[in-house]
Chain A
């Protein structure tokens, strides 16, 4: 959770304890200098979570004022607090963001039916937060009944965002579109959804006009295009429209003509033959989209189509090509037209040459994500990106601070140069796809690479390491990464010492996720008090045993120490360990395979 819960009583506002008859109000210097209402009004302008947390710790008055004026709450781990505690402290919430499962559930490391049910939250919200407007869920389990409850319980409901969730179907979406008369945002991304049909879109009432954000790019069923067309023409405030891959070019054209004011567009599949007339019509439609700053989609795109986009690219700041296996020349030709680009997501089909084009054409680039275009375990590794591509980008894009890079090979020297070129990294996520692969030139471990990263990039908040790594990497991290908040480790380290170094250092560490490393009980227990200052710890495939976990649970009663027990597990090893702080106590909804120690 991201609001601080003070464990000791705050300084009370101290009034003058013995008001003499002579004293008047102006001498009560210890009381608050202005009335509560003013304080609340001022605090209501405060949006940053961190600032609000700080404010709440000043004194009891400020704690109260803050809690009454808070309208948005972010809960990073749904089991760290209960809906009752939340609603008791914050009575006026309009917007909730809830995250559920550990991040490694995205990679199938968490069995299904693990938990993170939104159900209990919605039940409480329905009574306590009648004016709820926004709900953003990530890695939660949501059912169709939940969505129906949501749709019916909150008359002012405006924005629903479901990212990486599971448990629901398009029927649930239909409840939302049918009943939420004030809906402005419907954002359905990358969920494990039972996609039965596209009928949900047709459930928007004919007089419904308030939609501003619609993202159904990851849904596969066809929607009724005429219904979508009518919807788009009615909703004059529509800013974000991301359609699914079944949308044809002709349909896309019709939508663009209706909504040239779009800021973000997600295209459908772009694989049709275009007549010259269609080509120029589309190009002109894109030309009319003067506000477009994000483009995504591009399922199955062909070269012929790309020039149609060029007029729209001049104002682009975010280009998501991560579903389009473009070649380097195609990307290059496109990027020439995108001088203002700040964020770029691509597949590694563009290869190093494509990334050279990024370096040459996008001086304002701040974020780059390069995903693998094919499953490296399935296909011959003939293509992809190497250290050369990353280097090229670092030479050309000095403002780069966020990178997610899946590559086939890397060297220590390249990384050292990269961070010299771009010392402002805040997020450095390097994934050398072959586990435990050393520097391919020197055959040494990649320790020095990550050493260079943490020494040079003082603002680093998020780090993911890969390649062959010894404990030295973690010594560096523990010693230098003073702002590090999230660390992801896989197939790395030589002994307990590695993890111990991280736990002893990294004062701002919040999330530590480890898989398949030789860290055992000694490491786990080396700095167990630290876990209370963190959101969570995940360890899977390591050398931790049940006894070690039990010991941790004993020492730290305010932590939830959970072991996910897989079938076939002998009961000695703790194969999957999830530790997190919580004020809500142990889970009451844990399935049988989750043991709370």
Chain B
């Protein structure tokens, strides 16, 4: 079947290293000049987010990163291109939104290393779509969250922009412009004239097509993803665990066998749950439909951080990331993304327990 909608399978193509365990921090520091850090370690010190939102600067010993490398570009070549300008305001608010959803691993003494930076830009792009005032794109935004969440855009950082990202972004653009283009012919996408399907990446989205109810469309996203996990794998070997997030309306399930390291798991979870983070803060006004103001976004960023925890076979709640991956998937019964304020005190126990085990 096709690659899962939420782009889990695209992890491999990304040259973004995702922080997951303490062991990799050092290697990350070393590699930082080439790689973009995705901050899953709860590090962000987002005070450095400036209002233009275009560039994020690392603090601390990551000074080897140059500004250019940290400049986040979502898709189309540079913000200089006139085409991109209407998108800029979306971009900047999207980029503010780079605070990681849940740090995997606060430092033992409760402090967060300030050295890493939040670089989750690709994933956040989808929120700006979701927050768009054009609610008729709402369902598209949701289904577009998938490609937008793909790490591919962020792989542009410091590199030339790839055309594929232009195509990823273009569809949403076309759709967003649709309401203004009442006189334009409706024909949707590149391939339609020939009647043949062109490469999916170049397909433009048509609002309300194919004619399935939004409800079903959204369910499809999770169905096809989950079944991609199941298909082609020995089902008995699958390890499904429930993942809940404080404040999110429903649970998700993940197959731990799908991942081989923490960073894959955490980025997949971030994608799954990212929409809820915005949603709940959007309850100031309408639920996530209106464009969140910059200040509201900043509140979000400075607000609570999340921690990923799991319940092990003994019934204890521990922080994810402490133990080697293999041990983790064997002992994890279910996971919970909780506010970091609730998670304080878990760390020492986790480490102790690990010591006791080994």
Q: Which A residues fall within an 8 A CB radius of B?
A: 104, 106-109, 111-112, 164, 190-192, 194-196, 218, 220-222, 245-246, 269, 271-273, 299-300, 302-304, 322-325, 327, 347, 349, 371-383, 406, 408, 431, 433-438, 440, 443, 468, 488, 490-491, 515-516, 541, 566-570, 572-573, 575
Contacts and interface: CB of A to CB of B under 8 A. Distances in A.
B235 A190 contact: no
Contacts of B251: 222, 246
B65 interface: no
A380 B211 contact: no
Contact of A379 (B3, B144, B195): B3
A568 B139 CA distance: 21
Interface class of chain A by DSSP? loop
A-B interface, 8 closest residue pairs, ranked by CB to CB distance from nearest? A568-B180, A107-B208, A379-B2, A220-B250, A516-B186, A325-B227, A437-B195, A374-B224
B276 to A, nearest CB: 11
Given A106-B213, A490-B211, 5 more contacts: A106-B214, A304-B236, A406-B212, A435-B206, A436-B192
28 contacts: A107-B207, A108-B135, A108-B136, A269-B253, A271-B226, A300-B223, A371-B216, A373-B227, A374-B1, A376-B197, A377-B171, A378-B146, A380-B2, A380-B200, A382-B1, A383-B1, A406-B212, A434-B192, A435-B206, A436-B187, A437-B192, A490-B211, A491-B187, A516-B186, A566-B179, A567-B180, A568-B179, A568-B181
Interface in B187-245: 187-189, 191-193, 195-197, 200, 203-217, 219-224, 226-227, 230-231, 235-236, 238, 240
Contact of A375 (B137, B143, B211): B143
A324 B221 CA distance: 12
A573 to B, nearest CB: 5
B207 A108 contact: yes
A406 B213 CA distance: 13
B212 A324 contact: no
Contacts of A573: 182-183
Given A111-B135, A373-B223, A434-B196, A190 B216 contact: yes
Nearest to A517: B186
Contacts of A434: 191-192, 195-197
A374 B250 contact: no
Contacts of A299: 219, 223
B277 to A, nearest CB: 17
Contacts of A383: 1-2
B61 to A, nearest CB: 40
A371 B212 contact: yes
Nearest to A513: B211
Contacts of A192: 214-215
A322 B179 contact: no
B205 A109 contact: no
Contacts, number: 191
A192 to B, nearest CB: 8
A111 to B, nearest CB: 6
Contact of A381 (B182, B200, B209, B253): B200
A112 to B, nearest CB: 5
Contact of B187 (A108, A112, A245, A435): A435
A111 B136 CA distance: 6
A203 B172 CA distance: 43
B258 to A, nearest CB: 13
A454 B214 CA distance: 30
A267 to B, nearest CB: 14
Considering residues B206, B209, B222, which has the most beta carbons from chain A within 10 angstroms of its beta carbon?
Answer: B209
Contacts of A440: 195
A112 B115 CA distance: 45
B287 interface: yes
A190 B212 contact: no
A376 B210 contact: yes
Given A109-B136, A431-B211, A377 B205 contact: yes
A377 B200 contact: yes
Contacts of B227: 300, 325, 349, 373
B224 A325 contact: yes
Nearest to B286: A112
A503 B249 CA distance: 47
A381 B287 CA distance: 33
